[in-house]
Amino acid sequence: MTTAIEAPDTSTAPDSPATSPAGRPRGRRAAAYVGGAVAAGAVGALLGWQGPALLDGFGAGYVGQPAAALAEDLRCTGYQPLRADSGTYPHHERGTCALDGTRVTVVTFDRASDVTAFTTLMNGVVPLMHPTWRQATIATGEGWAAFDTASMTQGVAETAVLRVGAGATHVVPSR
């Protein structure tokens, strides 16, 4: 007696090259991955484009704000606005106040990029005007700067960054 053995139908077998292990056609699975990647890329691009604008109101930014607001957040006393003129650098407002007994100059800017221009100016001017100063330090942040008016000490800059809750200190290179 002979028994016939039938070959299994491989056209719908789970391990067939045309189907996934779950039995779905492989082309649909690949299309779903590509579609998901495109959607994730679009969302990422949108957030990268609009994210900074959305988060702008959440930071400790002082772009276009009065210098008195910065002085208040620094918990300075005796704020005095400085004469409004074009000065040597573009700014929104500037003034002086006492930060824990040290006279500090506070500056706000019309654009965040003006802070970079101010820092670059300080890198050039301070070493020329005060060649003996070492470790002259300014505090800068989104639309603001603050520094010890007399000698740009590091401690004042660090205190300013801590009290504002954002920003960084910048040591002016000496010559």
pLDDT in tens, 111-167: 888 999 888 888 888 878 877 777 889 999 999 999 988 888 899 999 999 999 999
Instruction: Give the residue with greater pLDDT, 40 vs 141.
Output: 141
pLDDT at 89: 75
pLDDT at 58: 47
How confident is residue 99, by pLDDT bands cut at 50, 70 and 90?
very high
Locate tokens 């809750």: which residue? Answer: 165
By CB atoms closer than 10 A (0-12, 13-18, 19+), residue 98 is middle
**Could you give the CA distance from residue 62 to residue 54 in angstroms, rounded to a whole number?**
16
3-class DSSP string for the chain: CCCCCCCCCHHHCCCCCCECCCCCEHHHHHHHHHHHHHHHHHHHHHHHHHHHHHHHHHCCCCCCCCHHHHHHHCCCEEEEECCCCCCCCCCCEEEEEEECCEEEEEEECCCCHHHHHHHHHHHHHHHHHCCCCCCCEEEEECCEEEEECCCCCHHHHHHHHHHHCCCEEEECCCC
Instruction: Give the residue with greater pLDDT, 44 vs 126.
Output: 126
How confident is residue 65, by pLDDT bands cut at 50, 70 and 90?
very high
| pLDDT exceeds 90 at position 102 | yes
pLDDT at 9: 58
**Could you give the CA distance from residue 20 to residue 48 in angstroms, rounded to a whole number?**
35
pLDDT at 129: 81
CA distances from 105 to 34, 51, 72, 99 (A): 55, 32, 13, 10
* Ranges of each domain in the chain: 18-58, 67-171
Instruction: Give the residue with greater pLDDT, 71 vs 175.
Output: 71
| pLDDT exceeds 70 at position 108 | yes
pLDDT at 132: 74
Structure tokens, 65: 């704000």
How confident is residue 46, by pLDDT bands cut at 50, 70 and 90?
low
